[in-house]
C-alpha cells in the first residue's frame, strides 16, 4: 500500500524521478541522491512500511531476493573491494526516510565512509540468556 506523503512510495510509483535499477512487484532499487560513495544504491519494498520488522515474510523475501544479484552488479560496475549492506530503523539509528530501505555501499580502502564499531564483551551465560529471550519472542 502506497503512502502519498512518503517520498520513497512516490519514487516507487514513478511520481518522483530516480535512476532505477530494479522495479518489480516487490521491490525498487535506485541510485541514492546523496551518495556516501560512488555506486551507493537503495533497495526498498514497493509497499509502504517504516521499519524492517513491519514487513511480512513474503514482502521480505520478494525484497531481499534481489540482494545477491544487486550487490554482484554494483561490485562489477564499481570495481569495489567490499560492500556494506546497511539498514537503519528509527531516528536513533539514523533513519531519515521513514520507508524501509537497504543501503548498498561499495567500499574501498581509504574511502570517505567511516563508522564506529565499539566491539564489547559478553559472558557466555549472558549471551545464552539473551538468545533464549529473543527466541521466545519469535
Ligand atoms: P537513512 O538515513 O534514512 O537510512 O537514508 C536515507 C537515504 O535516502 C539517504 O542516503 C538519502 O541520500 C536518500 N534519499 C533521500 N531522499 C532521496 C530522494 O528523493 N531520492 C533519492 N534517490 N535518494 C534519497
Ligand atoms: Zn513509503
Q: Hey, what's the cell of 134?
A: 529473543
- Say whether pLDDT at 1 is over 90: no
Q: What's the whole-model pTM score?
A: 0.97
Nearest CA to 19 out of 37, 40, 49, 5 is that of 40
Burial 22-32 (b: 16+ CB within 10 A, else e): beeebbbbbeb
Strand, coil or helix: 93: helix
Contact 26, 102 (CB under 8 A): no
Per residue in 14-29, pLDDT (tens digit) is: 999 999 999 999 999 9
For ligand 1, is residue 20 a contact (CB within 6 Å)?
no
pLDDT band for 2, please (50, 70, 90 cuts): confident
For ligand 1, is residue 34 a contact (CB within 6 Å)?
yes
**Position in ligand 1 atom list of the atom nearest CA 31:** 22
Q: Indicate the top mutation candidate among 96, 98, 101, 102 to test ligand 1's pocket, ranked by most ligand atoms within 8 A of CB.
A: 96
Strand, coil or helix: 52: helix
Q: What is the residue-averaged pLDDT of the chain?
A: 97
Q: Hey, what's the cell of 126?
A: 549472558
Per residue in 86-133, pLDDT (tens digit) is: 999 999 999 999 999 999 999 999 999 998 999 999 999 999 999 999
101 belongs to the catalytic site: yes
Amino acid at each position: 500500500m502506497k503512502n502519498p506523503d512518503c517520498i520513497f512510495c512516490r519514487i516507487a510509483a514513478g511520481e518522483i524521478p530516480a535512476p532505477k535499477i530494479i522495479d518489480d512487484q516487490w521491490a525498487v532499487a535506485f541510485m541514492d541522491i546523496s551518495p556516501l560513495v560512488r555506486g551507493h544504491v537503495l533497495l526498498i519494498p514497493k509497499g509502504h512500511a517504516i521499519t524492517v520488522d513491519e514487513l511480512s515474510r513474503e514482502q521480505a523475501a520478494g525484497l531481499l531476493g534481489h540482494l545477491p544479484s544487486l550487490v554482484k552488479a554494483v561490485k562489477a560496475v564499481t570495481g569495489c573491494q567490499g560492500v556494506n549492506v546497511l539498514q537503519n530503523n528509527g531516528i536513533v539509528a539514523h533513519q531519515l526516510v521513514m520507508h524501509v530501505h537497504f543501503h548498498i555501499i561499495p567500499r574501498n580502502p581509504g574511502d570517505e565512509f567511516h563508522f564506529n564499531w565499539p566491539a564489547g564483551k559478553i559472558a557466555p551465560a549472558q549471551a545464552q540468556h539473551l538468545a533464549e529471550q529473543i527466541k521466545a519472542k519469535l
